[in-house]
Amino acid sequence: MLTAVGLGPGDPELLTLSAVRHLSEADRVFVPGGIARSLVEPYCTPVELSFPMSHDEAAISRQIEENAGIIAPVAETGNAVFGIIGDPNIFSTFSRLCVVLKKKHPHIQISTVPGVSSITALTSVTEKPINGGFSVSDGSPELVKIQMKVRRPREAAERLKKEGYSRFVLVERMYMEGMKIWRDDLPDESNYFSLLFAEKEP
């Protein structure tokens, strides 16, 4: 089993209780660099892997393949954790690592633990709360839209289809008692604590 654990934006006090538990219970913890290493060292002795910051796509791919080969033997027989700055599913190296692992080691179970991302941390640092719609981008074309407080998800999905979105996931009461997840076949109505994930074909 492999679990990617979000370590937050860099402050050790912003690690979640879940992150600390996973780090403490892991058979082995892997990290992609020195900042992540310093955050996890109070709870384990990590293995630091190299993930080059480069525009050389071939070199990046080779390194990810190599790192996947290091992680896989641990994840196949035990409890491996990959600790990463921020959140493992937002602008993260981990998603690329998953592509390789799922292709070469499809039997390995992979899960993630969310972390405080730089996006949400920014509002605290700048003292600029967000109370309306907002956009986050790395400059590439927008492929995903997330809508909060979706009371009529099927209607919302129909509107988004006109903008080119074609895949939908609705999560109701996320991480709360009674959490429900719908994929594409959405209900007519949902709880106030609902988020709709809409995705375009790349």
When comparing pLDDT for 109 and 184, which is higher? 109
Distance between terminal CA atoms of the chain?
29
**Do 67 and 157 fall within a single domain?**
no
- The pLDDT value recorded for residue 165 is 96
User: 55 falls in which pLDDT band (50, 70, 90)?
Assistant: confident
Average pLDDT over residues 129-137: 92
| Residue 32 belongs to a domain | yes
What pLDDT, in 10s, does the model give residues 74-127? Answer: 999 999 999 999 999 998 889 999 999 999 999 999 999 999 999 999 999 999
**Do 189 and 98 fall within a single domain?**
no
| Residue 125 belongs to a domain | no
Domain that holds residue 177: 144-199
| Residue 136 belongs to a domain | no
**Do 19 and 109 fall within a single domain?**
yes
User: 52 falls in which pLDDT band (50, 70, 90)?
Assistant: confident
- Judged against a pLDDT cut of 90, whether residue 70 lies above it is answered with yes
Label the pairing between strands 167-172 and 80-84: unpaired
| Residue 130 belongs to a domain | no
| Residue 132 belongs to a domain | no
| Residue 134 belongs to a domain | no
- Judged against a pLDDT cut of 90, whether residue 148 lies above it is answered with yes
**Do 114 and 166 fall within a single domain?**
no
- The pLDDT value recorded for residue 33 is 87
User: 57 falls in which pLDDT band (50, 70, 90)?
Assistant: confident
**Do 10 and 107 fall within a single domain?**
yes
- The pLDDT value recorded for residue 163 is 95
| Residue 7 belongs to a domain | yes
Rounded to 10 degrees, the C-alpha dihedral 50/56/59/62 comes to 100
The total number of structural domains in the chain stands at: 2
- Judged against a pLDDT cut of 90, whether residue 36 lies above it is answered with yes
**Do 112 and 156 fall within a single domain?**
no
pTM of the model: 0.89
**Do 9 and 60 fall within a single domain?**
yes
- Judged against a pLDDT cut of 90, whether residue 181 lies above it is answered with yes
**Do 9 and 63 fall within a single domain?**
yes
- Judged against a pLDDT cut of 90, whether residue 54 lies above it is answered with no
| Residue 139 belongs to a domain | no
Query: For the domain that residue 41 is a member of, what is the CATH number?
Result: 3.40.1010.10
Average pLDDT, the chain: 94
- The pLDDT value recorded for residue 175 is 95
**Do 159 and 81 fall within a single domain?**
no
Query: Where do we find the tokens 């033997």?
Result: 73
**Do 81 and 171 fall within a single domain?**
no
Written as six digits, the tokens of 183 are 């994929």
